[in-house]
Each structure stands twice: as C-alpha cells, then as structure tokens.
Structure 1
Amino acid sequence: MASVIPCGPCLYDETHQNARKWCTSCEEGLIEDCEKTHKKTKTSRDHKLISIDDYRKIKDVSITFICSDHDKKLDWFCKSYDKALSVVCLPTVHRSCSDVIPIDVAASNARQSTAISDLQEAIEVTLCNITHCINNRNTTKKDIEKQEKDIRRIIRDTRTKINSHLNELEEKLMQTLVSATKTCKSKCNNCLQQFNIQEKNLIKLKDQVLQMKKFASDKLVMSEIESMKTATDSTNDYKFNLVLNSDIQKILNGVVKEFRRNSSH
C-alpha cells in the first residue's frame, strides 16, 4: 500500500489532509485548495508542481536543498566551484567569485542538458557492468557447485577403489594364512603320530627295563642300556609357528605407508 503524503500547509494548521500535488521547490504536499493559494502567491506561483504519484517515484532519491555547512536553503550556484550555495556561503568562501547565479537560473533546462544525458549514459554503462558481474558470479557459483559434485564423486570412487583393493588384499592374506595354517597343522599331526608311536615304544621299553633288572645278567643289562639310550636320545620336541610371508609383509608395509602419507595431507 502506497504511503500517504500529507498537505504541508494543513499540517501547519494542525489539520491532516492527503495531498494531491507536490511542490518541488517548497518540498511539501498540497491539497487542491492549498494548490490554488500556492499558485496565487507571488513568491510561489512559478514553483514546479507535480502529482503525488510522480513524487512517489522520486521521493526515495537522496537529494537535499539544505546546505550541509550552514543548514540553510541552497538558493545560489557557483559556476567556478560547480557547487550549490546558501546565502551564508556567499560572504565567506565565495565572496570573490564573480560567476555566482541563482540556483533556479543554473537549473533551467537541466533536464535537456548534456550533463543529465552524460549521467544517464554513465548509469547505463554501470548497469551493464553490474549485470555482467552478476551473470559472471552466477556462472562462477554454478561452476563451484559442479566442482563440488565432481570432487565428491572422485572421493566416493576413490573410497570404492580403496575398499576393493583392501578386500583383494584381505582375500590374498586369508588364503595365504589358510595355506600356512594347513601346512603347520599337517606337520604337527605327523609329529603327534610319531610321538604317539614313540610313547608306546617307551612304555614298552620301560617294562622291558624292569624285567631286565629282575632277570637279565649284568652283561646283558649293560648291552641293552646302550641300545635303549640310543632310542631315547632320538626323541626331540618340535615347535611350529605361523609366520607372514615376506611378500605379504611388503604389501602390508606399502598399505600402511600410503595411509600415513595421505593422512599427513
């Protein structure tokens, strides 16, 4: 909803009326009656009046007719400084300037001047540059989003390859482990069979020794002791350990080294 523009003179009389025209010189709204009075008054009959709708189009433009140095209305214009002046500015900074003219004279035909044409052209060029920058940044934004998707895909693919490689390595290690375990178990079983046979023979030998002590001659005992000693000395214990194949150890070391290198980045 458009904002309401009050009539300036009516507000002065503490009456609130919605203006239908706007005086660009007095910078206030006017109702129809006040507009007629405004045109009849000598000091304001030449003021430029515009519709409230047209005023709304320019009311947000940051323009002031008040001197920022002296807080007075800007009624004069210095051609040398190309600057609007207040009545207080004249006897101070601009008292020696010979080309000071009323601001109404300086502003006459301003809308048809080359200055406003140059301003419009500069605005168009700037707008074109801004549009180009916006389009460029939007394209860059899309490129960044595409790059992010590509990098995410690369990360996922890399992880898949690493997992696949680790699965293959695990399978290879497991096969080697199964083979080594099978070999060691086979050797252990062979030894157990030999030990069981030797155990039976030794038990038998033990009984023979007892019988020999009771009934054999000393000469026979001496001879049998030497042969029995040879049989007992041949019994040895063996230990079997599972060890990693050197090739497997190299693979493991390579994986660990690669993992540490990637983790340090």
Structure 2
Amino acid sequence: MASSKPIPCGPCIEGKVNTKADIWCYNCDEGLCSTCSGHHKRSKLSRDHKIIDIKNYKPSVQAIRTECDKHGQQLNLYCPSHLMPCCDECISISHSKCTGIKSLASIVEKTKIEKSKESIEKDINSILQLLGKIVNNKSQNIKRGEQEYKSIKEFIVKIRNEIDKHLTHLEKKIYQEADTILNQEKSKARDLIAEIEGKQKNLKKMQDQLHTVIPHMPQNSNHF
C-alpha cells in the first residue's frame, strides 16, 4: 500500500523547494521528482540504481513516522541500545540509563553516507574493472605489435638474403661469361698474331732471298 502522505523530492528539499516525488530510489533512500529523476538516470554514478514508481513504494514505519506516538514530540534522537528513534521525553523517561544516545539526523545521514559509499564503491569497482580490461587489451596490442614487428623484420631479412644470394649468383655468372669471352678473344688475338708473325717471317725470308739473288745476276744481258 502506498504512503498516505506525499513523499517530497530529496534534492529539491535540499534546495529549499518542496516538490512531490514521482519515483523512489532505494540506493539513495529518497524520493525524486520528474526533473531530478531525469538527472538521476543520466548520471553515471546513479544510472544503475534501483528505482520504482512512488505509487508502488511502501515505506517502513520508521521512514514515515516523525512524531513520537506516546508523547507527540518530534523524534530527534536515537537509542543504539534499543535500536529505535526517540523524542526528548522518551530519553528522559525510558532511556535515561542508555548510553551512546545520538542525534537521529546524524544516524540517518550516516546511513545515507554508508549507502552512498557502497554505491560509489560499486561504481569504482566497475571503473577499475573497465580500466583493467583496457590495460590488458592495450598490453595485448603491444605484444601483438612486437610479434608483428619481429615477423616483418625476419621477412625483410629473408628477402634481403635471397636478393643477396641471387645477386651473388648473377655476379658469378657474369664474371664467368666475361672470363670466357676474354679468353676466347685472347685466343683469337694470339692466333692472329701468330699468323701475322708467320707471314712476316716468310716475307722477311723472301726479302732476304731477293737481296741474295739480285747481286749475282749478269749485269749485261746482251750476250743472250
């Protein structure tokens, strides 16, 4: 059953504005109007909070009871021994021997802080988990990048070795062909030189013979 009294919007109350709540947030433990609920849903810290329509919210007796049923005074104190809110007269009559009496507002505030702390801690853990995934992902990217760099470097070295091997083979082949051509040309040149020298020798021999024959020829050919 819904509350008989309208539940105000917590943030609006903090801003000194009395606005009727449209939803209830269990994490924040307060009501929210339509405007504040919009900000609440968009906020990263509160978008995952558990909320319900204010019509379906069933507040506990302690949440809506602000006056003492026995004395009609405002409940402004809290007895930790009996775990209950009290008015000034309750404390003086029934809880005079109890220790650790505290302001009810401080207890409520502490409860809200603890709930907010749990919510914030949950959000921090989610962020830490996300950051951990990002770090792990980037570390894997670095590792893959290093492996790819190593593979590319090895591939380049392999290609370079193959090119060097091919160039060495080509160089050796060219040298061999050049040596063959040179030896062939040298052989041809030597054969030609030998042939020319042979002809020179024969011509010189003929020349010598001519020099020998001419002086012994008759000077007067009229005798014939």
Question: TM (normalized to structure 1)?
Answer: 0.39
Question: TM (normalized to structure 2)?
Answer: 0.46
Higher RCO structure (Cα 8 Å, ≥6 apart)? 2
